Structure 1
Amino acid sequence: MPLSIWTGMEDCVQTIVERRPSAVLDAGIGFGLWGALLRQYLDVWSGRIQPDQWATRIDGIEIDEKRVQPHARHLYTDVLIGDIRELVPRRAADQAYDVILFGDVIEHLPKDDGRALLHVAAGLARQLVVVRIPLGDGWRREGREEPDHHRSQWYPADFTGWPCTIREYDFWGNPYGLITIETSRSTAVSDRGEVLGVLDRRLQELEQRVERLVQP
């Protein structure tokens, strides 16, 4: 089912938006929920309401083109069709992303493939790899369609090899996780560089607002 459950959603939005990313890769867009949320809080929230004003690159990957809704093609900068195991490494090597998001998708891969993909993503993302995922073995394993079957079960210990924060939630008696992995590239950025980047983005936003105010 190409949907993301609501548990931990607010924390996930806050985790990403607080970093003020200039580019996000949503690996497994499904219905396009995260494109809408991130577009709202990374652009519209700052006054960039119209598409020609948007400053954040939000790209998405979906395995089944039939699932991509018209609103998703509007909200995402670019939508790629294919397997995330192939497209995430290829795309993130060509286009720099501050955040790579795996929302209810890693469990649909064999575990070795999931681990390998997370290692690749952690080496490519400039700030964070964010994972939303069912934890434990109490979840149903067969989805409504073949791409939705659960092919692996994950536990908090599976993520402790990365520098990460793990939050657990209860979803009708089953544990659900929000895992935030700090990437090696994020720790290489100096505090001065981060401050200057934030100031520069805020200055750009202020200039854009002033331009809109003085337009006849």
Structure 2
Amino acid sequence: MVVWVARDELVPLVEQNLMSAVSVLDIGCGIRPQTLLKDPPIHICCEPCLEYVTYLQKNVIPERKNLVVLNLDWDAVVKTFPERSVDTVVITDVIEHLTKGDGKRLLALTETIARNQVIVFTPLGLLPQDHDSDLDAWGLHGGAWQAHKSGWSPDDFDETWIIYASDDFHRYDVHGNAFEEPFGAFYAVKTWRDTKPSITTLAKKHLLRHHCHRLIDRAFDIACSN
């Protein structure tokens, strides 16, 4: 199902249709961790660019104590986190930076990691974005990560996903220059409901905190061995 809305209505509509989450895995967050799900008790950010990780540790973690930041790329993430190990996986502005084949593999594997939802955000179609410089739009040395390698449409997602889309979402490029014509964008949300017997929220928090501590230790071991 595809729901088309105006640009300013897109994010609020998606937020209304998200399940609450105790644990969130935020893949490829850059220097801006996801904010769709407000202050989950456990927010694990996985980011391949070491300078972005350092920025997050210095500027974001001090004010957001629920954040854990790991220097892992998407391939390491899907090898690190076991099946159904977090409530929600968020993949914001990531798959367009991968080849179509790698993007599809990432989506397929994150479906096994999430217990409740996978949330994807990407431009509608191929939004041209090349980087000749090592510097990115934030003045950090992440330019190599910024090129767009693939374009996506609602047709890339089967009927198990709900698509929320706007056809004029992106009005400026990464350098702040206005496009001649706006580019669209969409969220793809996949939800699993009533897949496991319910437990109390408090018990769930304790169980997930214990489990995520083990996951974090494992992820650090992998990151340090690379």
Give the structure-2-normalised TM-score: 0.66
1:136 and 1:155 in contact (8 A); partners too: yes
Three-state SS of the structure 2 residue aligned to 1:90 is: helix
Tell me which of 67, 71, 85 is aligned to 2:59.
Answer: 71
Following superposition, the deviation at residue 99 of structure 1 comes to 0.3
Q: Is the 8 A contact 1:167 1:177 kept in 2?
A: yes
Tell whether 2:161 aligns with 1:164: yes
Q: How does 1:1-216 map to 2 (within 5 A)?
A: 8-16=10-18, 19-34=19-34, 38=37, 41-42=38-39, 56-68=41-53, 69=55, 70-74=58-62, 75=64, 76-87=66-77, 89-93=78-82, 96-137=85-126, 139-143=127-131, 144=136, 145-160=143-158, 163-169=160-166, 170-171=168-169, 172=171, 173-183=182-192, 186-190=193-197, 193=198, 196-197=199-200
1:6 and 1:111 mapped to 2: Cα distance? Answer: 28
Q: Structure 2 CA distance, aligned partners of 1:81 and 1:99?
A: 19
Q: Deviations over 1:4-55 (max 9, x none)?
A: x988333344444xx2211000001112242x664xx346xxxxxxxxxxxx
- Unmatched tracts of structure 1, length 5 or more: 44-55, 202-216
Match of 2:178 in 1: none
1:93 alignment partner, SS class? coil
Distance 1:200 1:62 in 2: 29
| Structure 1 residues 9 and 154, CA gap change in structure 2 (3 angstroms) | same
TM-score (norm 1): 0.69
8 Å CA contact 2:119, 2:189 repeated in 1? yes
Question: What secondary structure is seen at the aligned counterpart in 2 of 1:9?
Answer: helix
* Mapped partners of 1:13, 1:72: distance in 2: 22
Q: Does the 8 Å CA contact 2:161/2:191 hold for their aligned counterparts? A: yes
Q: Which of the pair has the greater relative contact order for Cα pairs under 8 Å at 6+ separation? A: 2
CA separation of 1:12/1:28 partners in 2, compared to 1, >3 Å: closer, same or farther?
A: farther
CA contact (8 A) 1:20 1:42 kept: no
Judged with a 3 Å threshold, the aligned counterparts in structure 2 of structure 1 residues 122 and 6 are, in CA distance, closer, same or farther, namely: farther
Counterpart CA distance in 2 for 1:155 and 1:94 is 27
In the comparison of the two structures, how many residue pairs are matched?
A: 172
2:213 aligns with none
Return closer, same or farther for 1:126/1:119 CA change in 2, 3 Å cut-off: same
User: Percent identical across equivalent pairs?
Assistant: 25
Give the drift of 1:199: 8.6
SS at match of 2:82: helix
Calculate the aligned-residue CA RMSD, in Å. Answer: 2.9
- Residue ranges of structure 2 left out of the alignment (5+ in a row): 1-6, 137-142, 172-181, 205-226
Q: What does residue 208 of structure 2 align with?
A: none
2:44/2:67 contact within 8 Å kept: yes
C-alpha distance in 1, partners of 2:190/2:84?
20
The structure richer in helix per residue is 1
Q: Decide which structure has greater strand share.
A: 2
